[in-house]
Amino acid sequence: MPKKIELAEIIEKNPQVDAKQLRESMELLEELRSRGVSGRGYQLVPPFSGRRVQTIDNPSEDPRTVHLNRT
C-alpha cells in the first residue's frame, strides 16, 4: 500500500501549488472514495492470456507474407 501523502508535505515541496485548491480537491477525492468511487488501475493483462506467437521457419513460403516490388 502506498504511503499516504500529507497536504503539508505537498505544499512544502511545491510552493507554486495553491493550498486552498489542493485542500478542496483532496476533500472531494476523499468524499468520492468514501462513496465507493475508485480508479480503474492499470488494467494489466494476466500472464498467458495474450495471443500466442508462431515462429515461421521460411517466411517466403508463408502465404500470409506480403511481397512488395521495389521500383
Residue entry with cell 515541496: 13
Residue 1: pLDDT band with limits 50, 70, 90: low
Sequence-distant (6+) residues with CB within 8 A of 26 are: 7
On the question of pLDDT at 23 being above 80, the answer is yes
The three-class DSSP label of residue 42 is: coil
Q: Would you say the C-alpha torsion 21, 17, 42, 27 has a positive or negative sign?
A: negative
| Whether the predicted pLDDT of 20 surpasses 70 | yes
